Amino acid sequence: MTATPPVIPIKFGTDGWRAIIAEDFTFDNVRLCAQALCQHLQANAKGGGGLVIGYDTRFASEHFAAAAAEVVAGNGIKVFLCRRAAPTPVVSHTIQHLKADGGIVITASHNPGEYNGFKIKDEHSSSAPQSMVDQVEALLPALWSNRAAVRPLPIVQAASQGLVEYVDPEPAYDATIRKLLTEARLQRLKDAGLEVVVDSMYGAGRGYFRRLLSGGKTRVYELNGTRNPAFPGIQPEPITRNLSKLRTRMRRGAAVGLATDGDADRLGVVDEHGEFVTQLQVYALLALYLLQVRELRGPLIKTITTTSMIYRLGERFDVPVVETDVGFKYVGPEMMARDALMGGEESGGYGFRGHIPERDATLAGLYFLDLMVSTGKSAAQLIEHLYSLVGPHYYERTDYHYPQQEREAIIARVAQPRTGLAGAPLKQQEVFGGQGAPVNGVRFHFNDGGWLLVRFSGTEPLLRVYSESSTIERVRELLAAGRTLAGL
């Protein structure tokens, strides 16, 4: 009789495994993940270049990182361990800089403070592709049943044997940022005399904008720039409902507000009036910056949840647009395969050619500032300029908690074929997932170019409802229709 594999509480989602600290996110489970990654690398004749391990500012992140480092070292794989908390893109850049075989980042990104997480990066500095994640996950049940197979080497001993080396990732990262932006443009930003307010959201991105923009007339004022794992009063996701302090500060006067999430791979922007610039608008503006201001050309990669403005810009500047599923584990490989100019997603993550095939809020924020200085336009004026080229596009997203036992019933209701919705005929209805995988989302296209998407989050127990249309009123009608379809 075949034994039933154990059910274990470790499941990798859109970008890594995340769980509540001390409930499922424990030292033992972090060690299991590290061991599974090592076995995957060794089975594929990798690991000789070592692994970079970094961490964010969450509770005990440095200790979870050390636990992972001990396991990796115990497997004879060298560890480059970051000396202090660092943004995920900085850790990813270190993989590239050191030519390592991949990395681990201890972070739960934008999740609430009670969470922590385990992200895997491959040798390209990208989020681990789904095939790699599947192989790592497949090793976990056997390790769960035989924890003696996990044999960490105490970190002091590992360091003495040269298997753990402490690294400072900032100098090499800063050099790459200066190269991508160019020294001339960076100096112009420093000399522009801008007042920039940065909300670091108590996360790993604290101090980066201030350091990179120091030495001129531009002034950077930082909010929530200390370490506080409780993230008091906020969830570290840079969207409008979490940025009340930044929006209030902007109304007292400043050029622009920039916000970074818990591990600084997502960017939020607030204009000079204290109004939130949506992630879809920011993506389109950054694409416009590269195409119009920098006069660069190349494919644009977008996920299914982000803006159709990218299609309009692709048509206007004669560049191809490629759509992927949600997550940079899908965007990054397309960026590399196509030498893409840019990749972006609805969550506020943007990646750029010449850098890592990953999201980077710091570089995205600097590019946004350079767009403002290069055009002489404020953030609000830039949106007007964008709309003059592609037409008005408004967007909102709502999130709902739902009973886990009703997941299949919810998506079955949403996925029912229909010819019209919210008082208008449908142009197309797309179902995501299926063919052996569970249906995860449904998107409805309308003849006026608007769309509605209902899908389950890959990182949290949430149902997300997204919409983009030519008026904010229509967006909200579509969101209400999406909630009704789900029965929530």
Tens-digit pLDDT string for the chain (488 aa): 455 666 788 999 878 999 999 999 999 999 999 999 999 999 999 999 999 999 999 999 999 999 999 999 999 999 999 999 999 999 999 999 999 999 999 999 999 999 999 999 999 999 998 899 999 999 999 999 999 999 999 999 999 999 999 999 999 999 999 999 999 999 999 999 999 999 999 999 999 999 999 999 999 999 999 999 999 999 999 999 999 999 999 999 999 999 999 999 999 999 999 999 999 999 999 999 999 999 999 999 999 999 999 999 999 999 999 999 888 889 999 999 999 999 999 989 999 999 999 999 999 999 999 999 999 999 999 999 999 999 999 999 999 999 888 988 999 999 999 999 999 999 999 998 755 566 788 999 999 999 999 998 877 788 999 999 999 999 999 999 999 999 98
Query: Which pLDDT does position 377 carry in this prediction?
Result: 98
Query: Which pLDDT does position 219 carry in this prediction?
Result: 98
Query: Which pLDDT does position 394 carry in this prediction?
Result: 93
Q: Please state, in angstroms and rounded to a whole number, the distance separating the CA atoms of residues 255 and 370.
A: 12
Phi, psi of 100 (to 5 degrees): -80, 170
Query: Which pLDDT does position 327 carry in this prediction?
Result: 86
For residue 147, CA distances in Å to 3, 137, 142, 143 come to 18, 15, 8, 5
Residue 182 makes CB contacts below 8 A (sequence gap 6+) with: none
Residue 438, number of CB atoms within 10 A of its CB: 10
| Residues belonging to the chain | 488
Residue 277 DSSP symbol: E
Q: Exposed e or buried b for every residue in 127-137, given b needs 16+ CB within 10 A?
A: bbbeebbebbb
- Which segments of the chain belong to CATH 3.30.310.50? 394-486
Q: Please state, in angstroms and rounded to a whole number, the distance separating the CA atoms of residues 370 and 365.
A: 9
Query: Which pLDDT does position 1 carry in this prediction?
Result: 47
**DSSP notation for 117-141:** EEEEE-TTSSBPPHHHHHHHHHHHH
Q: Please state, in angstroms and rounded to a whole number, the distance separating the CA atoms of residues 137 and 265.
A: 24
Region of residue 404 (left: phi > 0; alpha: psi -120 to 50; beta: else): alpha
Query: Which pLDDT does position 22 carry in this prediction?
Result: 96
- CATH code: domain 173-390 is 3.40.120.10
Q: Please state, in angstroms and rounded to a whole number, the distance separating the CA atoms of residues 324 and 335.
A: 11
Q: Please state, in angstroms and rounded to a whole number, the distance separating the CA atoms of residues 461 and 457.
A: 7
Domain 394-486 class, CATH top level: alpha beta
- Which segments of the chain belong to CATH 3.40.120.10? 17-168, 173-390
| CATH architecture, domain 17-168 | 3-Layer(aba) Sandwich (3.40)
